[in-house]
Structure 1
Amino acid sequence: MSNSDYQGGLGAGFARARSIQNEYESKIAEWRAHSNKLKTQVSALNERVVIMQADFDANNHLLRLLMDELRAVKPNSHLLIKQNRDAIRQEVFEECMIESGYEVSSPKGFSR
């Protein structure tokens, strides 16, 4: 093996190593960008959860006020019985889930 053959082989090996390194760096950059995109999406979803929780808490407070008022005005109302409210809530919940494309697979169980 001549010196030029050796250097040619060495150069080809280095070129191949650089090519592999560039491929790895490219894939790492792709995954890093994908990871950053997912982080942004998770952050936005977390913000929506916080907003929805605040909205839920506000509605729950309003419901308590309305229930107190209903007790004073109509103490025998069927809406003052928790089981009746739960049944109404479940019925409306299921209707909303079905309208959103879900199927009722079991009590409180849904599938798409």
Structure 2
Amino acid sequence: MLEKDPVTGWAIAHWFCKRHRDHADRVNEQLRAQNEAAPAPLPNKGGLLPCYFKADWEKVYRHYAGRFWGPPTHGLCADDWPTPGRAPVVKKARMRLVLGGHDLDDTP
């Protein structure tokens, strides 16, 4: 049986022997609501190559990992992944200077 962490979505495995099947069923029922409400798991490894090199990483990963692989919910690049226990950082837009309205060569 798996218990999903309500913050990170990571799974913790719990094992019970056959003699304690009734206890396992009771614990499984208690965890059902928590597991359904848990977020998509945060990636905890990989994601560094897309931070430094431009490529079609989804195609590369799918080729080597197999056809059943799918991209993580939080993206392929580790820079885009949230940090457990910390609020997500909002990326600010870059400021740009837009010249308009008059020509720089025309001086009054």
Please indicate, yes or no, whether the TM-score normalized by the shorter chain is above 0.5. Answer: no
Q: TM-score range by the shorter chain?
A: under 0.3
Please give the TM-score of this superposition, normalised by the length of structure 1: 0.21
Point out the structure with max Rg over C-alpha: 1
TM-score with structure 2 setting the length: 0.21
By percentage of residues, which structure has more helix? 1
